[in-house]
Amino acid sequence: MTLVGRRVRVRVPATSANLGPGFDTLGLALNVHDELDVEAIESGVEITVEGVGAGEVPTDETHLVARAALHAFDRLGVPAPGLRIHARNAIPHSRGMGSSGAAIVSGVLAAVGLVGDDVDVDDATVLRLATELEGHPDNVAPAIFGGLTIAWVDDDGPHHTELAVHRGVSLLVAVPQERMSTSLARSLQPADVPHADAVFNLSRAALLIAALTQTPGLLFAATEDRLHQRYRASAMPSTSRLVEALRAAGHAAVVSGAGPSVLVLSSDPEQRLAAAEIVAAQEDSWESHLLAVDIKGGTVEGNPR
């Protein structure tokens, strides 16, 4: 099998994980995308980047997209070709919008697309390959499949299920200038949590599924959390202040992923605009993005043959 000369175009959405109480389980795909044109070449890795990350990220085989593609080729038992990658990035880096998960999914999908029909690769394999690099499936699942996803891991590996978000749900993501390391955010988590807090989050996570899929009026109560956000607050004081200000006004605001961005889940467009006014009034610099749920997830176009 020779892959040289094959080309694909990959498009992968941003994501917001946790959604408040659904720590390491719930994820939502957002209509902000990174796009890649990928060509299999004789040897080497050549990467050019437009948009977010240009001049910052590596342009060799250490780039996360390339690492993910090479990992996928290896796990699929396919000799890796060289890669020529042109990336057009729109997902902010280190802001809690799933940029690393999107890069991993992009690389895996690029490899799968280049292999084409020569190797049978199902959805479960794509999720497994992406999770092997990401470490947990809550961001990569919505990036692959779109919409609202519930992800879990058992002895057989990662799994997911997809749910349709109620059409009355409106999204706002407030993005600050500063960045946040996911590893730092995770290091602030305690090894154990009180039993009452665990039960609290179980009830809210179950309620959140109902709120997002059936009854958006329950979003405020459903987004309460005691497992992770308060432990990370000291590392993201401006994020904590914004979440508090929004929730004090009745908005279902949560930390997006590991932060520092803030996700607001509104039950109608007017409520979302009111939340945007609160964001604009903050002393810190925030940029509001009025977004929708991406229902397609990652896509691959092109004829690998």
This prediction's pTM? 0.94
Q: Is 101 annotated as a binding residue?
A: yes
Q: Is 99 annotated as a binding residue?
A: yes
The pLDDT of residue 2 is: 86
The pLDDT of residue 303 is: 60
Q: Is 190 annotated as a binding residue?
A: no
Q: Is 93 annotated as a binding residue?
A: yes
Other beta carbons within 10 Å of 188 = 15
The pLDDT of residue 231 is: 78
Low-confidence ranges of the chain (pLDDT < 50): 305
Q: Which domains does the chain have, with CATH numbers?
A: 7-163+293-301 (3.30.230.10), 170-291 (3.30.70.890)
Q: Is 157 annotated as a binding residue?
A: no
- Give per-residue pLDDT as tens, 240-291: 999 999 999 999 999 999 899 999 999 989 999 999 999 999 988 999 999 9
Structure tokens at 129: 């390959």
Radius of gyration of the chain (CA): 19
CB 242 within 8 A of CB 251: no
Tell which residue, 247, 245, 246, 191, has the closest CA to residue 224.
247
- Give per-residue pLDDT as tens, 32-68: 999 999 999 999 999 999 999 999 999 999 999 999 9
The pLDDT of residue 185 is: 58
* Phi, psi of 130, deg, nearest 5: -70, -40
Q: Is 100 annotated as a binding residue?
A: yes
Q: Is 158 annotated as a binding residue?
A: no
Q: Is 269 annotated as a binding residue?
A: no
The pLDDT of residue 283 is: 84
Q: Is 256 annotated as a binding residue?
A: no
